[in-house]
């Protein structure tokens, strides 16, 4: 560019002074080495109001340009003498009035310097815009990373407020849709750590807030009167008064995830349109993260509630009978499986307790819901536990559904202590028969049979009674035990015979030990650890053995 100007310069050398620069597209001002303006073109006259031929440069131009002339003509602090100046020199930059200029010095033979003043305001603006655009893109990418790293709603709110207060405004407030009369909020000022809180307030107090909470498009910030904002919206630590505010919805999946309120103090610029658009881009990311976190939170709440109600209870001694339970769900993610058991204690020690163990067809939420229904129904039917068949018929009727044939198989055991024996009434409804471990090591399969419940209009069941002598155990189990697949060949079922043999070695063991032993054997049998639900209930007649005294001095005692 400098060379091009030199060419222009040499071509115009012969013209009369005043005409030389007239047609130049830029402002040109020629200054001699003493700092006196020698010549200037109309463009320069228009730009520099005080400039005139013969005037002093320092009184005509801003100080940066006067200094530039001084540096150009006296590079070492003293005049250059007759030595020609180097042809190409770096340009100087500065403002003249409201605009930015590049000043290119072009030295002449006679020691004068022609200053070409090129307006580069537009280019600077574009560069600034590009830089800020890059910054915003980087910020949005960072925001997404940080926001999506958490599925915790509180954390998401805090991160959103903190990022927004750092990059978009002086202070930011995230407000979630009301839970009752409370508005959950997170505040942050100047990129500092966000504070969680709730406020009991009507969103109508903030212009545009209740609309944004319902998912309507944002109100332009110029419509919001900062003076009308309620005090609860202004974070602690926000100094000064609010000069401008922007209310932006955080869009969620269908329903709004919340609202982002941006605040600036009176000293700073108001929100312009591009900033509001940018705030919406940020809000879209924050909203997606927040609603994902909320969905997850709701999901895990539901699962927790279901699990609390559906997980099998811990079993203990009831009315003089030992109960032990064991439950291994198929996989951790299906904590609520299709197997279940319950023990409903008799209202008095003489009334039988009812133990139920069952297996619901299917898995996941469907199975969990059906399991819950069966357990609730059976609990309601405990007063008629004296007649298992009737109880199961009523249950069957309650479960019948014209759309599907999802069924359950179960075993009912009415259990009553009679002196030192335990009297059992057992009924299987389509379930593997209960096994009784006798004290001599025999394992009996109880011959009760019946139809599954929940799929057929009519069911048939057969109830069988038996007694347990002290130390004997009746085991109810689900087919997850016998259908454990594995063994030395890897693909063999554990099977009923192996189970019965294993139980034969458990004669005289307490119920808890029997349950643990069977669980251990089935787990060892499994080839790859994958199995169906396994549930076990052991009903044991307590041993009435004489216990020797612990310290040798006190009397021994009999267990109940």
At its nearest, how many Å lie between another protein and the CB of residue 388?
Answer: 14
Q: Which residues pair with 429 in a beta bridge?
A: 410
Q: Is 442 in the site for another protein (CB under 8 A)?
A: no
Q: Which stretch binds another protein (CB under 8 A): 148-156, 183-191, 450-458, 536-544?
A: 450-458
Distance CA 353, CA 347 (A): 8
At its nearest, how many Å lie between another protein and the CB of residue 177?
Answer: 38
At its nearest, how many Å lie between another protein and the CB of residue 537?
Answer: 18
Please, which residue, 423 or 485, has the CB nearer to another protein? 485
Q: Is 51 in the site for another protein (CB under 8 A)?
A: no
Q: Is 219 in the site for another protein (CB under 8 A)?
A: no
At its nearest, how many Å lie between another protein and the CB of residue 486?
Answer: 8
- Applying CB under 8 A, what is the total number of residues that bind another protein? 30
Ranges of beta strands (E only) in 335-420 are 339-344, 353-360, 408-418
Rounded (10°) CA dihedral 165, 169, 175, 176: -70
Q: Is 409 in the site for another protein (CB under 8 A)?
A: yes
Q: Choose which of 434, 450, 511, 542 interacts with another protein (CB under 8 A).
A: 450
DSSP three-state, residue 236:
coil
Distance CA 312, CA 328 (A): 10
Contact 218, 276 (CB under 8 A): yes
Query: Segment 12-31, which members bind another protein (CB under 8 A)?
Result: none
Q: Which stretch binds another protein (CB under 8 A): 155-163, 249-257, 275-283, 425-433?
A: 425-433
Q: Is 236 in the site for another protein (CB under 8 A)?
A: no
List, as one string, the DSSP characters of 121-189: HHHHHHHHHHHHHHHHHHHHHHHHHHHHT---HHHHHHHHHHHHHHHT-SEEEEEPPPBTTEEEEEEEE
Query: Segment 336-395, which members bind another protein (CB under 8 A)?
Result: 338, 359, 361-363
At its nearest, how many Å lie between another protein and the CB of residue 490?
Answer: 7
List, as one string, the DSSP characters of 481-538: HHT-EESTTSSEE-HHHHHHHHHHTTTT--HHHHHHHHHHHHHHHBSSS----EEEEE
Distance CA 436, CA 449 (A): 15
At its nearest, how many Å lie between another protein and the CB of residue 383?
Answer: 26
Distance CA 385, CA 376 (A): 14
At its nearest, how many Å lie between another protein and the CB of residue 373?
Answer: 16
Look at the block and give the residue holding tokens 């439950």: 327
Q: Which stretch binds another protein (CB under 8 A): 105-113, 217-225, 381-389, 448-456?
A: 448-456
Nearest of 492, 481, 463 to residue 538 by alpha carbon:
481
**Mode of pairing for the β-strands spanning 421-429 and 463-468:** antiparallel
Q: Which stretch binds another protein (CB under 8 A): 72-80, 177-185, 298-306, 401-409?
A: 401-409
Q: Is 448 in the site for another protein (CB under 8 A)?
A: no
Q: Is 530 in the site for another protein (CB under 8 A)?
A: yes
| Neighbour tally for 494: CB within 10 Å | 24
Q: Which residues pair with 535 in a beta bridge?
A: 327
Query: Segment 294-323, which members bind another protein (CB under 8 A)?
Result: none
Q: Choose which of 69, 155, 431, 498 interacts with another protein (CB under 8 A).
A: 431
Q: Which stretch binds another protein (CB under 8 A): 24-32, 63-71, 406-414, 507-515?
A: 406-414
Contact 246, 279 (CB under 8 A): yes
Q: Which stretch binds another protein (CB under 8 A): 28-36, 122-130, 388-396, 399-407?
A: 399-407
At its nearest, how many Å lie between another protein and the CB of residue 407?
Answer: 6
Q: Is 275 in the site for another protein (CB under 8 A)?
A: no
**Mode of pairing for the β-strands spanning 195-200 and 182-189:** antiparallel
At its nearest, how many Å lie between another protein and the CB of residue 505?
Answer: 22
Q: Is 401 in the site for another protein (CB under 8 A)?
A: no
DSSP three-state, residue 72:
helix
Helix (H) or strand (E) holding 321: strand 321-328
Q: Is 237 in the site for another protein (CB under 8 A)?
A: no
Q: Choose which of 490, 520, 547, 556 interacts with another protein (CB under 8 A).
A: 490
Q: Choose which of 82, 236, 419, 491 interacts with another protein (CB under 8 A).
A: 491
Q: Is 483 in the site for another protein (CB under 8 A)?
A: yes
Burial-class residue 113 by CB neighbours within 10 Å (0-12, 13-18, 19+): buried
Q: Contact positions toward another protein, by CB under 8 A?
A: 338, 359, 361-363, 404-407, 409, 429-432, 449-452, 455-456, 459-460, 483, 485, 490-491, 527-528, 530, 532
């Amino acid at each position: 560019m400098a060379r091009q100007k030199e060419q222009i310069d040499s071509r115009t050398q012969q013209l009369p002074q005043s005409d030389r620069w007239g047609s130049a597209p830029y402002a040109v001002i020629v200054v001699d080495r003493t700092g006196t303006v020698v010549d200037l073109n109309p463009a320069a006259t228009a730009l520099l109001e005080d400039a005139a031929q013969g005037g002093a440069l320092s009184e005509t131009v801003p100080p940066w340009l006067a200094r530039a002339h001084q540096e150009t003509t006296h590079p070492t602090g003293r005049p250059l003498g007759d030595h020609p100046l180097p042809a190409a020199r770096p340009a100087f930059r500065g403002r003249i009035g409201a605009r930015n200029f590049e000043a290119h010095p072009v030295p002449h033979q006679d020691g004068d310097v022609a200053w070409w003043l090129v307006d580069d305001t537009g280019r600077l603006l574009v560069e600034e815009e590009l830089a800020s655009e890059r910054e915003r893109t980087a910020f949005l990418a960072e925001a997404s990373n940080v926001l999506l790293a958490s599925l915790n709603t509180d954390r998401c709110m805090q991160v959103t407020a903190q990022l927004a207060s750092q990059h978009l405004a002086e202070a930011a407030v995230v407000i979630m849709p009301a839970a009752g009369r409370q508005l959950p909020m997170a505040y942050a000022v100047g990129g500092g750590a966000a504070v969680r809180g709730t406020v009991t307030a009507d969103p109508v107090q903030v212009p545009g807030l209740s609309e944004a909470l319902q998912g309507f498009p944002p109100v332009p910030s110029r419509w919001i009167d900062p003076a009308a904002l309620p005090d609860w919206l202004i974070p602690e630590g926000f100094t000064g008064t609010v000069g401008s505010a922007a209310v932006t919805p955080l869009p969620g999946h269908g329903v709004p995830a919340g609202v982002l309120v941006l605040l600036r103090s009176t000293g700073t610029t108001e929100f312009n349109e591009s900033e509001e658009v940018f705030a919406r881009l940020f809000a879209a990311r924050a909203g997606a993260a927040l609603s994902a976190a909320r969905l997850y939170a709701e999901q895990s709440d539901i699962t927790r509630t279901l699990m609390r109600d559906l997980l099998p209870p811990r079993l203990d001694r009831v009315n003089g009978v030992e109960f032990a339970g064991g439950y291994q769900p198929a996989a951790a993610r299906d904590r609520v499986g299709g197997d279940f058991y319950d023990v409903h204690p008799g209202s008095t020690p003489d009334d039988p307790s009812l133990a139920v163990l069952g297996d619901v067809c299917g898995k996941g939420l469907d199975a969990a819901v059906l399991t819950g229904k069966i357990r609730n129904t059976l609990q309601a039917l405990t007063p008629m536990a004296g007649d298992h068949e009737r109880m199961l018929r009523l249950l069957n009727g309650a479960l019948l559904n014209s759309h599907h044939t999802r069924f359950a198989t179960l075993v009912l055991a009415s259990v009553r202590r009679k002196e030192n024996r335990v009297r059992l009434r057992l009924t299987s409804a389509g379930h593997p028969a209960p096994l009784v471990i006798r004290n001599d090591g025999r394992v009996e399969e109880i011959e009760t049979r019946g139809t599954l419940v929940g799929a057929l209009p009519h069911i048939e069941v057969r109830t069988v009674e038996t007694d347990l002598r002290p130390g004997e155990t009746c085991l109810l189990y689900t087919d997850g035990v016998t259908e454990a697949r594995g063994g030395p060949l890897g693909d063999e079922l554990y099977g009923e015979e192996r189970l019965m043999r294993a139980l034969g070695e458990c004669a005289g063991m307490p119920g808890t030990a029997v349950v643990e032993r069977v669980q251990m054997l089935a787990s060892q049998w499994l080839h790859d650890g994958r199995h169906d639900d396994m549930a076990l209930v052991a009903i044991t007649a307590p041993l009435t053995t004489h216990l020797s005294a612990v310290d040798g001095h006190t009397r021994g005692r009999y267990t109940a």
